[in-house]
Chain A
Amino acid sequence: MARFGMVIDTKKCVGCMDCVVACKTENNVPEGFNRDWIVQEVIGKYPDLHMEIRSERCNHCDNPPCVSCCPTGASHVHDLGGVVLVNHKECISCKACLASCPYDARFIHPDGYADKCTLCIHRVEKGMNPACVDVCPTHCMYFGDLDDPNSEVSKLLKSRKHHTNIPAAGTKPQIFYLM
């Protein structure tokens, strides 16, 4: 079984938002909403500063609270790669998932369902990368099978220091940031 995830190199990321724009056009994300976003985390006092730049999105958690809290089963884990998805037809837009997500990764689509990153499952099923990965001008994003020890993502996680976002939430995020 494959377990899809992403590894993002914060050393290379310049926070240009190309990932956000590519997601928007690829997936026709409506005006006023985005499925991914950029965080610039600054620590220190001028001029002794450190900044980490992260491209963030749904973490496609191994223990996804948005799935366990969904009253209709619309939020579900896809058979392929453990990707967390929303079945639009079954969603009653009760917003329980929005409240449960520690990453604020979801929004209610104007058409009336909870929406978020799908890891571009429509592309992945065809053997392509998510749109954000393929557009990145700095090549800072990697997509692949975390269960395969020989995949690029697995190798990167073995060789580089990394972290996930809010690990204390216990959701087991599958988006990893190289430091």
Chain B
Amino acid sequence: MNSLSRRKFLKITGAVLGTAAALTGTAGMVVKSAKKIDEAKVKGIQKIPTYCDICFWKCGAIAYLKNGKLWKVEGNPIDPLSKGRLCPRGTGGVGAHYDPDRLKSPLIRKSLRGKEEWVEVTWDEAFDYIAEKMNKIKAQYGPESIALFSHGIGGTFFKHTLKAFGTQNISAPSFAQCRGPRDVGFKLTFGEDVSSPERTDIKNAKCIVLIGSHLGENMHNTQVQEFAEAIENGASVIVVDPRYSVAASKAKYYLPIKPGTDLALLLTWMNIIVKENLYDKEFVSRYGFGFEQFTAEISHYTPEWAYVETGIDPELIVKTAHEIARYRPASLIHPGRHATWYGDDTQRSRAIALLNALMGNWGVKGGFYTPVSMDVPSYPYPPYPESKKGKVDNPDNKYPFAHETITNGIREATITGKPYPIKGWFVYATNLIHALPNEEETIKAIQNLDLMVVIDVIPSEIAGWADVVLPESVYLERYDDINVEWFREPFVSLRQPVVDSPHDQKPNWWMAKKLAERLDLQNYYPWNHIEEYIEYRLNAVGYSFEQLKKDGIIPGEKQPIFTEEGALLEFPTPSGKVEFYSLQLAGAGFDPVPKYTKPQEPPPGYFRLLYGRAPVHSFGRTQSNRVLMDMMDENEIWINSDIAHRYGLKSGDYIKLKNIDGIVSNKIKVKATERIRTDCVYMVHGFGHNSKMLKGAYMKGASDAELITQYVIDPLMGGTGMNVNFVTFEVEV
């Protein structure tokens, strides 16, 4: 994410532009370029570097081939993200290549949408079908009436083709269904968001506060590695979670909070820290804006009041407030990542940002570092056509602080036809049925479409609703754009093919280019093969493609990332300061300082449905990976032991869950446990697939997404709070 201030930062500190970085290479590593593997029957072991795509973290990896066949994937030792150690999903990446459920050839629907009845077609037939429909939509409604939902770096070229076609309705669930509120909350406060990989200096933190963030189960590799390092260094860990997470088991203080009341705790912590003068006065007086109004606004949040809201012992609230302040500035209140919980998420994230500001930890060791990057310009394409209509997702700027496109806004427009109709959906590598709340609305929107194209490696639920399904090569079989990362140190990494695709799968760049050619947009693809595109980008800054193919990573020169090292602090907010009181928010009719509102109580006999991650799966995308399936092939519903006993349930029993709208889940295994409160239940997201083509994962476990019929929209940025659903147990299965 190239935010303005970081670009400026690069200029100030001297960009590495144009300097070919010296490479040390890796001793004893036999690395061969991708082309060599085309030679049949290669004897022995080959090692080919690439970067992972099992999640979006983009860890540098080395794929091992044994006699030409994919054997295993390890971390690339010179990769700053993985440091030579992949997470379990990345290690299980081989299973993505061998997955027998993969899409094999292009498909065109032959009966009703969602029936999953297909005709296998050639690529030419598929592109002809799509291009004809696109041109019809363009003629009747305009090019803006086609939208793209995308996830990950693989979406780069489809975005390009569709922008060239004339639409800007390009979105990703990673904003409005995930990190959006967090990024907006931090941007409103510091003028910058925490981006991805998060700019958190976990390894140097002396106190780490995790609020619902379950590092260790959530396996964002660098974050987990640094968390373990901090634990080894004796960091004080404070975990706030309704569930005794893995991270909680590492904590000095575990706060068993009532779901939905985090903001009450945060405001109270801040009030204690301000009243007792425990905050960083120098930082606040130098960089803070509106601190007096802020302190007045939070002055009534006492530990005794917070006890009633959160259920946390007032003494524990005071003790942990002192603990957090004791270690400042190396006290890090982690911003989390998946933040779309209750609909007031931007304000909660803002409170997290403000508590960090009180610690004076922005740009400081043990707090938030200033990410750096190489300055590799993008490919010089012709300008995209300008749209007269603007984007469809946020009419009249209803959600004034949405700085990315709102997926559910596009869905809404597709249903209502307002502000203008959306008639075509492209869906790249995101299973919207599991990613968006309220499946019924998604299906309703799909019924209004004249064209629905899904590009993916596996037959996800959303593929089942498509008119055309395009089978993509998995990451181990394709090039993608180079990754120019914003991180602790600048580097460029390469994804390159390691093995051939087993069937008629194709890389996304090839599909997006072929489609552009069908649409008479070939001038937007001045290159014939992605290798030319990558080489052009690298040569523009004096790097060698051959070197990158050999090593997988080109490291840049280290630059200062902390103020202690000479990095400059700047806050691109309207005031140019850290906004304790936000005039922007006040001006738009929102609370300038976060205010607490009570969450809705579960109806009698119902439990709040919470969901999260398992370390061995990514979203709903890995459940048919046979290696990862052997680690975890179904999810469980975590129920407090006492509640389970009351319902006559024990671990291993199967039940169904019913939500307040009467939706009943697939059967799910009970985990009766002490590790969760009595007012909520928990399951890992991504299971309960009902796509018939996804044989390995079919009907294993239950889908939380199916039960998330209710959602609360964050009025600041349009994100969907999804922890607002209540379920009861259907014991007869």
Instruction: Using CB atoms and an 8 Å cutoff, list the residues of chain A in contact with chain B.
Output: 9, 11-12, 14-18, 20-22, 24-26, 31-34, 40, 42, 44-47, 49-53, 134-140
Contact = CB atoms under 8 A, between A and B. Distances in A.
Given A14-B224, A53-B246, A139-B228, A24 B615 contact: no
Contacts of A140: 228
Contact of B249 (A49, A135, A136): A49
A24 B616 contact: no
Chain B CB within 10 A, most for which of A22, A32, A47: A47
A24 B627 contact: yes
A51 B249 contact: yes
Given A17-B631, A25-B91, A137-B221, A46 B216 contact: no
Contact of B674 (A22, A33, A49, A53): A49
B344 interface: no
A25 B616 contact: no
B674 A44 contact: yes
Contacts of A137: 85-87, 219, 221, 224-225, 228
A46 B640 contact: yes
A135 B246 CA distance: 19
Given A34-B630, A47-B244, 12 more contacts: A12-B231, A17-B631, A18-B91, A22-B72, A25-B92, A46-B675, A46-B676, A47-B256, A53-B249, A137-B225, A137-B228, A138-B225
A41 B667 CA distance: 26
Contacts of B225: 137-139
Interface in B92-107: 92, 94
- Chain B interface, >50% SS class: mixed
A22 B227 CA distance: 21
B280 interface: no
A48 to B, nearest CB: 9
Contact of B673 (A12, A20, A42): A42
A50 B86 CA distance: 28
B217 interface: yes
B409 to A, nearest CB: 36
Contact of B88 (A20, A44, A53): A20
B546 interface: no
Nearest to B312: A47
Given A14-B217, A21-B616, A22-B91, A46 B631 contact: no
A50 B248 CA distance: 9
B88 A16 contact: yes
B559 to A, nearest CB: 26
A17 B228 CA distance: 15
A15 B628 CA distance: 14
17 contacts: A12-B231, A14-B215, A14-B217, A15-B216, A15-B615, A17-B615, A20-B631, A24-B92, A40-B246, A42-B673, A46-B244, A46-B256, A49-B244, A137-B85, A137-B221, A137-B225, A138-B224
Given A42-B673, A46-B256, A46-B675, A21 B88 contact: yes
Contacts of A40: 246
Nearest to A32: B630
B88 A18 contact: yes
Interface in B239-279: 244, 246-250, 254, 256
B129 interface: no
B527 interface: no
B85 A12 contact: no
Interface size class of B (residues with CB under 8 A): 35 or more
Given A14-B615, A46-B677, A21 B85 contact: no
B232 interface: yes
B603 to A, nearest CB: 23
B71 interface: yes
A140 B85 CA distance: 12
Given A21-B628, A22-B91, A31-B626, A15 B246 contact: yes
Please indicate which of the listed interface residues A22, A34, A53 has the most CB atoms of chain B within 10 Å of its own CB.
Answer: A22
Given A16-B87, A17-B615, A135 B256 contact: no
7 smallest beta-carbon distances between A and B, as pairs: A14-B216, A138-B228, A16-B615, A47-B256, A51-B249, A25-B72, A18-B88
Contacts of A32: 630
Nearest to A13: B228
Residue from the set A18, A21, A46, A49 with the largest chain B CB neighbour count within 10 Å: A21
A156 B92 CA distance: 30
Interface string B190-226: 0000000000000000000000000111010100110
A71 B256 CA distance: 54
Given A14-B216, A51-B249, A135 B674 contact: no
B551 interface: no
Given A20-B631, A47-B244, A25 B88 contact: no
Interface in B65-92: 71-75, 85-88, 91-92
B627 A16 contact: no
Contacts of A134: 74, 85
B314 to A, nearest CB: 15
Given A46-B244, A46-B676, A17 B616 contact: yes
Contacts of B232: 9, 11-12, 139
Contacts of A47: 244, 254, 256
A39 to B, nearest CB: 13
Contacts of A22: 72, 91
A12 B228 CA distance: 5
Nearest to A9: B232
Given A31-B626, A46-B640, A139-B228, A16 B94 contact: no
Nearest to A46: B674
B623 to A, nearest CB: 15
Interface in B290-333: none
Given A16-B224, A42-B674, A49-B674, A135 B231 contact: no
A134 B77 CA distance: 11
Interface string B565-606: 000000000000000000000000000000000000000000
